[in-house]
């Protein structure tokens, strides 16, 4: 646990020190759960967004994008259920005056039991060596089975109490498990209450004529209300998808874990409209496709798992999370939901407008069913950033900090470094930079010894360093150094573009899907 916390602290300080993420309005001591992306962070975020957009929109003839407004007609949120039911159960500690999400306190309790399972597995793996069969061990070892049963029984009781709105039982569960305030150890809890997560504001000039509106808590509803406009103007035939990336806002009770849970964040969502009855097939298909997208980035298959929901939201007939191993454990990164025809039907009912599709092959109209893929861009940023940050022991006994970002996502693809700041080397370096920058984001650095500059680029995540030296003046060759292997090669300037492209092009990575 302490090791995990140390790693997470390193992630936070590296993100600040290397210009990836700053706290919002830091000079005023910040605003809780709100962050700004800095000069490198904005590039990494853009590259993740592009990688998603290319995979989802550009590579699919039957998926198109939109960019709907953050502010929408307030009835949207009545129809979607957010006004009445977009709540989190909160609980206050009477002694510390700290506020928590009741369900998160229980989930964290279960995560500790899961930690015990991990320890048993690690011990057994060491004992049995190559002969170790993890699946068999976790399904037969008495202690592990007991731990898992305890987790299942706690989570299923909580899910059923929340579904029945039995908040008194959620409090009872917290008391029975002996859960204490993580900061102070106090068990002096208030009752559990529901808290709506939407940020409301007013539209209009005067108090009398103003209307209550909301900052959208998800981008999906902008897609549903535009379903027929896009279908008709794009002459889309079912099955087809509408994709969107954009800001969403939630007044989260638990503001912690850095950019994992923010009050203002960005989503990348796609609603796939299908013929009723085919939704299960498409749900399975999108689960597989989305997992392949994650795996294409090479961040290790062991770091992902599906968590299929047993208790489903009232509008869903299947749902699964893709969980990622963050520095604080496995947590939801993306959701794939089979949302039935709930949203379109609800908007039809509240707007009085038909939102149906006329199927020419079947010669009839119907309300399509929807399979949704929904991923938080900031969460994906944290997954990529935390997974890439490594401390490496080198052969000469020193250590280096290196940010092994997938090349396709790295903010800068190469840095051009003149060996010395004289003898015409900076001029040649700038010529190379000016040529490469038509194709890639390239960095120029001439300050400090070259070894120090390499280390800076390693920590920044730049895949290549290109060094211009005196030989360059004679034969138009440079040294190119690879961030991950630290291998250096002498190559012609004319070859640089192809070498970089082979490593960072979207095609190179997406083809792995």
x-or-dash string of contact with ligand GAP, 205-244, rule CB under 6 A: -------------x-x------------------------
Q: Where does residue 161 rank: exposed (0-12), middle (13-18), buried (19+ CB within 10 A)? A: buried
- Note whether 333 binds ligand GAP by CB under 6 A: yes
Q: How far apart are CA 316 and CA 337, in angstroms?
A: 7
Is position 446 an interface residue for ligand GAP (rule: CB under 6 A)?
no
Torsion 313-316-320-322 (CA) sign = negative
Task: Return d(Cα 464, Cα 88) in angstroms, integer.
Answer: 46
Contacting range for ligand GAP; rule: CB under 6 A; set: 326-334, 357-365, 439-447, 500-508? 326-334
Single out the residue of 41, 222, 327, 335 in contact with ligand GAP (rule: CB under 6 A): 335
Count residues contacting ligand GAP (CB under 6 A)? Answer: 19
- Minimum CB distance to ligand GAP smaller for 90 or for 144: 90
Nearer Cβ to ligand GAP, position 379 or 453?
379
Within residues 258-297, the interface with ligand GAP by CB under 6 A covers 261-262, 265, 267, 269
* Residue whose CB is less far from ligand GAP, 327 or 335: 335
The CB-of-251 to ligand GAP minimum distance in angstroms stands at 9
Place of tokens 């002996």: 178
Between CA 142 and CA 476 the distance in angstroms is 68
Spatial strand order of the sheet with 304-308 comes to 63-65, 240-249, 264-274, 369-376, 329-338, 318-326, 304-308
Dihedral sign computed on CA atoms, order 401, 407, 411, 417 = positive
- For 218-272, give the secondary structure using H, E and C: CCHHHHHCCHHHHHHHCCCCCCEEEEEEEEEECCCCCCCCHHHCCCEEEEEEEEE
Bridge partners, 323 (sequence order): 305, 332
Q: Give the pairing of strands 399-403 and 304-308.
A: unpaired
Q: In the bound complex, what is the minimum distance in angstroms from residue 379's beta carbon to ligand GAP? A: 4
Run of H or E residues at 390? strand 389-393
Q: Least distance to ligand GAP from the beta carbon of 313, Å?
A: 9
Residue closer to ligand GAP, measured from CB, 335 or 426: 335
Least distance CB 378 / ligand GAP (angstroms): 5
* Options 120-128, 169-177, 228-236, 328-336: segment touching ligand GAP (CB under 6 A): 328-336
Binding mask 346-385 for ligand GAP (x = CB under 6 A): --------------------------x-xxx-xx------
Shortest gap between Cβ of 318 and ligand GAP (angstroms)? Answer: 14
Of 242 and 442, which has the nearer Cβ to ligand GAP? 242
How wide is the angle at C-alpha 498 spanned by C-alphas 466 and 383, nearest 5°?
75
Q: Which residue is nearest to ligand GAP (CB)?
A: 376
Q: Which residues contact 59 (CB under 8 A, 6 or more apart)?
A: 510
88 is a site residue for ligand GAP (CB under 6 A): no
User: Could you tell me the two tokens for 140?
Assistant: 């037969």
| CB nearer ligand GAP, residue 181 or residue 218 | 218
Closer to ligand GAP by Cβ: residue 253 or 402? 253
Two structure tokens written together for 362: 């079947």
Min CB(78)–ligand GAP separation in Å? 17
Residues contributing to the site for ligand GAP (CB under 6 A): 218, 220, 250, 252, 261-262, 265, 267, 269, 332-335, 372, 374-376, 378-379
């Amino acid at each position: 646990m302490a090791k995990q916390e140390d790693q997470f602290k390193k992630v936070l300080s590296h993100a600040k020190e290397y210009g990836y993420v700053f706290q919002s309005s830091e000079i005023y001591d910040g605003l809780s759960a709100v962050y700004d992306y800095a000069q490198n962070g904005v590039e990494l975020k853009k590259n993740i967004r592009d990688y998603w957009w290319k995979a989802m929109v550009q590579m699919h003839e039957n998926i198109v994008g939109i960019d709907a407004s953050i502010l929408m007609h307030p009835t949207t949120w009545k129809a979607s259920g957010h006004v009445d039911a977009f709540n989190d159960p909160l609980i206050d500690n009477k002694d510390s005056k700290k506020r928590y999400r009741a369900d998160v306190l229980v989930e964290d309790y279960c995560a500790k039991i899961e930690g015990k399972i991990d320890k048993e597995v690690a011990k057994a793996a060491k004992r049995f060596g190559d002969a170790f069969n993890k699946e068999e061990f976790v399904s037969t070892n008495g202690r592990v089975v007991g731990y898992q049963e305890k987790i299942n029984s706690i989570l299923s009781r909580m899910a059923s109490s929340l579904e029945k709105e039995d908040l008194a039982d959620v409090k009872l569960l917290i008391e029975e498990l002996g859960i204490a305030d993580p900061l102070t150890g106090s068990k002096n809890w208030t009752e559990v209450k529901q808290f709506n997560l939407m940020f409301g504001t007013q539209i209009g000039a005067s108090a009398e004529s103003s209307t209550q509106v909301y900052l959208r808590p998800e981008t999906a509803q902008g897609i549903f209300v535009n379903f027929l406009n896009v279908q008709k103007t794009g002459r889309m035939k079912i099955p087809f998808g509408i994709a969107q990336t954009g800001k969403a806002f939630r007044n989260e009770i638990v503001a912690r874990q850095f950019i994992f849970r923010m009050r203002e964040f960005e989503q990348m969502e796609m609603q796939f409209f299908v013929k009723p009855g085919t939704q299960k097939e498409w749900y399975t298909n999108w689960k597989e496709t989305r997992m392949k997208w994650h795996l294409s980035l090479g961040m290790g298959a062991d770091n992902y798992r599906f968590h299929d929901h047993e208790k489903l939201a009232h509008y869903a007939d299947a749902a699964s999370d893709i969980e990622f191993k963050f520095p604080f454990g496995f947590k939801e990164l993306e959701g794939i939901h089979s949302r039935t025809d709930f949203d379109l039907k609800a908007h039809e009912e509240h707007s009085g407008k038909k939102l149906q599709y006329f199927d020419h092959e079947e010669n009839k109209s119907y309300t399509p069913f929807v399979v949704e893929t929904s991923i938080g861009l900031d969460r994906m940023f944290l997954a990529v950033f935390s997974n890439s940050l490594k401390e490496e022991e080198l052969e000469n006994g020193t250590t280096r900090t290196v940010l092994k970002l997938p090349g396709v996502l790295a903010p800068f693809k190469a840095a051009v470094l003149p060996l010395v700041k004289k003898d015409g080397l900076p001029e040649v370096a700038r010529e190379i930079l000016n040529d490469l920058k038509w194709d890639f984001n390239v960095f120029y650095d001439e300050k400090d010894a070259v070894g120090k500059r390499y280390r800076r680029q390693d920590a920044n995540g730049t895949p290549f360093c290109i060094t211009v030296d005196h030989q360059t003046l004679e034969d138009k060759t440079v040294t190119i150094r690879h961030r991950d292997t630290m291998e250096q090669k002498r190559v012609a300037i004319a070859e640089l573009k192809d070498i970089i492209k082979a490593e960072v092009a979207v095609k190179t990575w997406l083809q792995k899907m």
